[in-house]
Structure formats: structure tokens, C-alpha cells
Amino acid sequence: MKPLKFAVIGTGFWANYQIPAWFEVGGVELIALYNRTRAKAERVAQQFGVPNVYDTIDELLDNHAHELDFVDIITDVDTHVLFTTKAAERGLDVICQKPMGPSLNDAQQMLTVCQQAGVRLYIHENFRWQTPIRALKSVLDSGVIGKPFKARVSFCSAFPVFDNQPFLADLDQFILTDIGSHILDICRFLFGEAESLYCQTTRVNPQINGEDVANVLLRMESGLTCYAEMSYASLLEREAFPQTLVSVEGAAGSVVLTNDYVLKTTTANGTVTTHATPPNYSWADPDYAVVHSSIVACNQNLLADLQEPDRQGAGLAETTGADNFETVRLVYAAYDSAKRNEVIPLKR
């Protein structure tokens, strides 16, 4: 199969892992990089052997749109609508980092723009692709714990996340857009769509703008109640970053995903312990290993869909724009709930 040609839009922290993850997958050729600070893009181009560098996206598209198959947008959320629109107008398929848009309307606009241009939109949502999360899903799908009725999905940490990504400290809406996008997507991946939610947020760290703690209680359409908790203010005995810890109780047993990717499945026959250790890549930052390895699996899934030549997609991609819009609905419903101190109905 001919390699698909693509450009990376944004060469900040995350691009250092997204690019080698693409090379790990193969089947793609990275033609050009854009970054508003040119020197940063040049550094990344040199590191990964990318032939073209731009500090305006228009110039990149003017020079290369004719040969590109897709763009991978890895910029901050504020530019997602603009850059998605520019690429879509040139007839290019778009992969865009989470969070999809800075508001529900913006996310909707991204869907509309891509639909009207006849291009495919995917969101790079990788947490559901983590090895331990896939292993947990297999346990649930096996039916061994029966019908799940209750779950807790937990991401509570004191990792100095602002050191690598200082812009996160400036966000007015922080943890629900940053980690909440992932955690609420995991909830959807594991348990299906939500019927309603209630949320409380707070800010503990006085040096940041947004909330760094959010507690979301979801009632899923299946009847399961899911407590999704997230915090970057939790100095705990055991730092789990960046692992998501999960426990699920079902009619016939329970399953717990705990530290170090250990999965414990308990039924009337006792407890079975397995390990769902992620693959180890030399280019990954060890502090982020489980997340960085999931970029490969996520890219693989999106590429399989992109390789479908008729532009309809092969229906293989999990995190299409339309799918991720449902996660975005949960994120902004959670803000709405916290602001109004009300349960927000979500059923369409």
C-alpha cells in the first residue's frame, strides 16, 4: 500500500511522541511541520528528518496540500477549529488532538466543516487504547463478572504536569478538558453512553487558573452508576500518574485495575490476577509510558480507516469526530452541572 503523506501541525511537547509513534506504525510519510515558533519546528524537523518547515499554516497548505493525504493537528485547543477548517477546505482528512474544541459549539462546527468539505475527521483520543484499559474491557466483555452495575474510574495525582505543559496552568477550564476528556471517554468506552451526570469541581492549586479537581457521577443508559474522579492536587501514598485506576462491580463479581497495570478479577471461584503491561518504546518518556505507547495503538486504528481510499472510511476508527463529540458533550455538561449544581440530562 502506498504510504499516506501527512503534515504535523504543532510541534510542542506532545509532537515529540506523536511523531515517533507514527514511525512505529509505518505506512505514512511525514512531509512537513508547522509551528508558530519556527525554531521549535526546525528542531523537531532535524530530529525526525522532516524536509519542510513552516511558521504559517497557510504557507504549508499552499505548498503541500496537493500531495498530502491528511494533517495531524497537535496544537492547543484554541486553534482546533481554525486549523481543521483550513485543512478541510483544502480537501484534507484531519486528525485532531483532544480536547476536540474549546466549546460544544466549536466541536459541532468542526464536524460540520468536515462534513461539508467531504473529509474525514478523527480525534486523537488515546487513553482508551492503553493496554490495561483494553484488557479491562476484555474482562467486562467476557461476561465473567456479570452485568456491571457500579464503577469507579479514577485519575488522582500530584504529578507536576505544568512543568512539561505550562499552558495547562493558564486554562480557565483545566482538568475536565485535559484529563476529563480522557476519563469520560474511558467511561463511554467501557460502559456505553450516559443518561445524565452531576459534577462538582474545585481548585486547590492557587497558581493555576482552572479547576484541578472534578468529581463526576454518571448514570449510564445501561443503568450502571459510574463515579469518575480526577485531580491534580492529590498527594497520595502511591503516585499512579499517568495510570487510570478502575474498579467495576457486576452481578457475578468484580474487576479492579490497580497500580502497575495489575488486573484482579473476583468471582465466586476466587480472585484471578493478571498483568496488562504496556509495550515499551525507546522514544517514550518513562514518566508517561502507558500513555505514549497508547499513541501507537490509536494511530494504528485511525490509519486503518484512513487507508480506505473512497473517503467513506472503513468504519474501523473508534474515535471519529462524531464519536468524540459525545465525549465533548460530557465534558461541557460536567461544567454546566458544576456551575448550576444540577443534574444534567443527556439522553437525546
- Name the residues that contact ligand 89Y, by CB under 6 A: 161, 165, 178-179, 242, 291
Give the DSSP H/E element, type plus range, for residue 25: helix 15-25
Which amino acid belongs to residue 347? K
Alpha-carbon distance of 171 to 162, in angstroms, equals: 11
Pairing of strands 213-220, 194-202: antiparallel
Q: Give 85: exposed, middle or buried? Use CB within 10 Å, 0-12, 13-18, 19+.
A: middle
CB of 161 to ligand 89Y, least distance (A): 5
Task: Output 74 or 94, the one with its CB closest to ligand 89Y.
Answer: 74
Contact present, 207 and 213 (Cβ < 8 Å):
no
CB of 39 to ligand 89Y, least distance (A): 23
DSSP class of residue 2 equals P
Task: Output 195 or 318, the one with its CB closest to ligand 89Y.
Answer: 318
CB of 223 to ligand 89Y, least distance (A): 30
Residues ≥6 apart with Cβ < 8 Å to 169: 162, 207, 208, 209
Count the helices and strands in the chain (H runs, E runs): 10, 15
Task: Output 106 or 185, the one with its CB closest to ligand 89Y.
Answer: 185
CB of 243 to ligand 89Y, least distance (A): 11
Alpha-carbon distance of 242 to 287, in angstroms, equals: 8
Task: Output 74 or 333, the one with its CB closest to ligand 89Y.
Answer: 74
Alpha-carbon distance of 326 to 341, in angstroms, equals: 21
Task: Output 243 or 254, the one with its CB closest to ligand 89Y.
Answer: 243
Task: Output 246 or 255, the one with its CB closest to ligand 89Y.
Answer: 246
Task: Output 116 or 259, the one with its CB closest to ligand 89Y.
Answer: 259
CB of 291 to ligand 89Y, least distance (A): 5
CB of 14 to ligand 89Y, least distance (A): 7
Helices 104-117 and 321-340 pack at an angle, to 10 degrees, of 160
Residue 256, SS3 per DSSP: strand
CB of 328 to ligand 89Y, least distance (A): 14
Contact present, 20 and 296 (Cβ < 8 Å):
no
